[in-house]
A and B are shown apart, each in its own frame.
Chain A
Amino acid sequence: MSGQLKIATQSIHRAEQPFRVRVEITGARPGEQPRVRLSQSDGVQPFYRAAATADIDANGEGIAVFDDVVLHGPGHAAILVAEPDEPGVLLRSDQLRVEVVP
């Protein structure tokens, strides 16, 4: 059984303003500590990219927190992608389209 990643944040954000993104993990193995990568696949350069580790609780749930996500290019849309940052971790990736406003 593979788990699922889900990006949780607002769908609109101001350019150059840091905001918090939570990648919620469900269906993972309890006690695991998967490393999750959050990256930007579309929008205005430079793209955001960072990784964080989540601790999975007894229900197979965990949260990876990215506290300083910054997007550029007001008026454009960016796509954030969450995926496992290490091989062999069975977590389905997720992506979210974010409007970057002035």
Chain B
Amino acid sequence: MSTRRVLVLIGLCGAGTARADDAATLVIDGGQGSFDRVLPAGVPVKILVPVPQADPSRGKLTLYPMLPGSKACADPGPDRTRQWHEYGMAVTALGDTRQLEATISPLQIATTYCITVRYEHGLSGDQLATLADLMGATPIDWEASCTSLVIDPDHAAPRRRVDREPAQQIAVVREAVLKQLTGSLHKLRELRAASDGAPPDPARVAEAAATLTELLDVPARCSALAARLGDEDRALDEQQRATARQAQAAAAVKTLPTELRAWPIAVVLTDNAPAVKTLLELVSQSASLPAIAAQVELADPELASDLRDLAAASGDPARLAAVMAKLRAPPPRPIPLVLFVPSLSRSVRVADLGRAGELGGLLVDLAKTRGPLLRQLAVVRQGAIAVDRPIAERWSAALTGLADQAEFAVAARAHYTETKQARADAEEANRKALKDLVRTETMKGQLRRSEAVSEAPVTASRETDDKASWIAPAVGVMVAAPYLAAERRFADPWLTPYLGASVYFTRVDRVIDVDDLVGPSWRLFRQRNSVSVGLLLSTPSVRGKAVSGPWQADVVPFLGIGHRFTQYLRGDLGAILFQYNDRIPVITQPHWGVAGWAGVSLDADVWAVVGGKLGR
């Protein structure tokens, strides 16, 4: 008995805690679940569910026995079956991944259970990557978020750009980020056609947007961008002023005298370089005369005609001498000033510079290389009469000024383009920073939790072990009514303890309440009813003399059947065959008797005690 007490003590000490070998892992693969082992019966079991998603937020486990005759799990609900339980699941770390776990109450032996796991998790890695792309396209009006245009009476421009207050910059950007984040999360739900699971938590989304904005360091970015915007504004102002000055210079050119008393000059190509020559220098080169005549035509058609005639006469000396004499004298009247414009490949009468085409050609040449035009004016000045030389000088000065302004305007435009690109680069850097920030671990953690994605429930079934005994010791007390066959009467009843063994026709579950046992009827019958055999622990007596067992054995055996009321308490009915002595002492031949009895016994399963299942 002392050994038994020790075992009971061990069993009690083990009660209430799941041991290491009382854990089972539910492996989810491709939406299907399977257990890695037979489920231990009669002890609390820790169910472990490693989840593929990195960040499960909460889980729920539903447990129920598979219905008799069923081959698949079908949740009948809590009111339609015994042993239906639902458990919340805790999230624990398992290396780099997470797992859900719940400790379930003891299971019935040799029974198939269905376990359904439902869990939610945050956004997956792929979803976060998509979210980062969507967030990278956040339409933030950085210019208006960081600065505003105000009227400044002291400034030449109609409006002046000023920086917004940092708090205002942050608020504007945060609002845009929040709007984009909310829209992006909805977009993600659409992409995965999610109809279940909790919608994005507005508070968490707002928190994520605030964190993202904070990490973005909006004031610093606005400061950098405002500097670029300032550069761009100044460059634009300068470009506007430069082109305006160019227009003024062009307008000034149009007011100059367009005629003077100077023979036109000619431009010839020498080694592909334009060279400015006087007509006197060229007139003896008869091969060049037709081209020179074409240049002269605009200035003095009569002189052009003379040159063409000279060319036709193949350099007739008399004609040549006449033309040269004419050219050595100043023109008899003012003649139109004509300049050869290289970009147009033709000569232009300066009086026609009011035409867009002519002025355009002049501007192109002045902006690129003013030399050929100014050299023409220098030669014209030398050939002009003294009183008209200032006209040539004024033209030279005006075209020099126009050339300066044309160069400035082109340079200003190029500078504006550079500053505009720098501003665009700064804005692009901000967009990229936003996109990169979404991919940081800090933001991933926050964004992942901003939405709970419900995974499809996973159901797995597995049978429990049958580690239980089919035989149990029984200790009890009985009341017996002995019938004395020889005398055809009952003797006084016996009250006696007994010790026996209960033999069941199945392994007996000692943990689950007998009223909660599940299974087919025959199985439930066998779980509760047994055959008993044993001995009385004290020898009863008839008429003061102890009875004996059959054939005068020293012990009195019994037979019976028992029915468990609880896991360990049983009622027994049975019969005892015994022998007793005759009332007349000299008659030594014992008589047979039989006693019917009823008893109550403790039905303790040794295996249950050893397995720590006693008292669960």
A61 interface residue, CB < 8 Å from B?
yes
B240 interface residue, CB < 8 Å from A?
yes
B407: which A residues are within 8 A, CB to CB?
Answer: 58
CA distance A29 to B353 in the complex (A): 13
B363 interface residue, CB < 8 Å from A?
yes
Contact with A along B242-277 (1 / 0, CB 8 A): 111011001000000000000000000000000000
Question: Given known contacts A18-B149, A68-B159, is B409 in contact with A57 (CB within 8 Å)?
Answer: yes
CA distance A60 to B420 in the complex (A): 18
Closest A residue by C-beta to B233:
A20
Question: Given known contacts A31-B363, A63-B236, A67-B159, is B144 in contact with A58 (CB within 8 Å)?
Answer: no
Considering residues B240, B244, B366, B420, which has the most beta carbons from chain A within 10 angstroms of its beta carbon? B240
CA distance A99 to B144 in the complex (A): 13
Is the CB–CB distance between B406 and A58 below 8 Å? yes
Q: Describe A's contact surface by its main secondary structure.
A: loop
Q: Distance (Å) between the CB of B398 and the closest chain A CB?
A: 14
By the criterion of a CB under 8 Å from any partner CB, how many residues of chain A are at the interface? Answer: 31
CA distance A56 to B243 in the complex (A): 7
B409: which A residues are within 8 A, CB to CB?
Answer: 55, 57-58
Q: Distance (Å) between the CB of A7 and the closest chain B CB?
A: 13
Q: Describe B's contact surface by its main secondary structure.
A: helix
B188 interface residue, CB < 8 Å from A?
no
B250: which A residues are within 8 A, CB to CB?
Answer: 31
Q: Distance (Å) between the CB of A48 and the closest chain B CB?
A: 15
A67: which B residues are within 8 A, CB to CB?
Answer: 149, 157-159
A32: which B residues are within 8 A, CB to CB?
Answer: 356, 360
| B-contacting residues, A5-60, CB 8 Å | 8, 10-14, 17-20, 22, 29-33, 54-60
B294 interface residue, CB < 8 Å from A?
no
CA distance A83 to B552 in the complex (A): 130
Contact with A along B343-383 (1 / 0, CB 8 A): 00000000000001101111110111000000000000000
A58: which B residues are within 8 A, CB to CB?
Answer: 363-364, 366-368, 406-407, 409-410
CA distance A99 to B140 in the complex (A): 11
A84 interface residue, CB < 8 Å from B?
no
CA distance A61 to B363 in the complex (A): 12
Is the CB–CB distance between A55 and B244 below 8 Å? yes
A79 interface residue, CB < 8 Å from B?
no
Instruction: Among A33, A59, A68, point to the contact of B410 (Cβ < 8 A).
Output: A59
Question: Given known contacts A55-B243, A63-B239, is B366 in contact with A20 (CB within 8 Å)?
Answer: no
Question: Given known contacts A57-B246, A99-B139, is B240 in contact with A63 (CB within 8 Å)?
Answer: yes
Is the CB–CB distance between B236 and A12 below 8 Å? no
| A-contacting residues, B92-145, CB 8 Å | 139-144
A96 interface residue, CB < 8 Å from B?
no
Q: Distance (Å) between the CB of B370 and the closest chain A CB?
A: 11
Question: Given known contacts A13-B141, A19-B144, is B356 in contact with A57 (CB within 8 Å)?
Answer: no
CA distance A94 to B360 in the complex (A): 24
Is the CB–CB distance between A62 and B144 below 8 Å? no
CA distance A55 to B406 in the complex (A): 11
A17: which B residues are within 8 A, CB to CB?
Answer: 144, 148
Question: Given known contacts A59-B410, A65-B236, is B159 in contact with A54 (CB within 8 Å)?
Answer: no
Is the CB–CB distance between A68 and B359 below 8 Å? no
B416 interface residue, CB < 8 Å from A?
yes
Considering residues A13, A19, A30, A63, which has the most beta carbons from chain B within 10 angstroms of its beta carbon? A30
CA distance A8 to B356 in the complex (A): 26
Is the CB–CB distance between A31 and B367 below 8 Å? no
Is the CB–CB distance between B367 and A13 below 8 Å? no
Q: Distance (Å) between the CB of A98 and the closest chain B CB?
A: 10
Pairs across A and B, CB under 8 Å, 18 listed: A12-B144, A14-B144, A17-B148, A19-B144, A30-B360, A30-B367, A55-B243, A55-B244, A57-B406, A58-B364, A58-B409, A58-B410, A59-B413, A62-B243, A63-B239, A63-B416, A67-B159, A101-B141
Given contacts A29-B356, A63-B243, A67-B149, 7 further A-B contacts (CB under 8 A): A10-B143, A30-B367, A31-B356, A56-B243, A57-B242, A57-B363, A58-B364
Chain B interface (Cβ < 8 Å from any Cβ of A): 139-144, 148-149, 157-159, 236, 239-240, 242-244, 246-247, 250, 356-357, 359-364, 366-368, 406-407, 409-410, 412-413, 416, 420
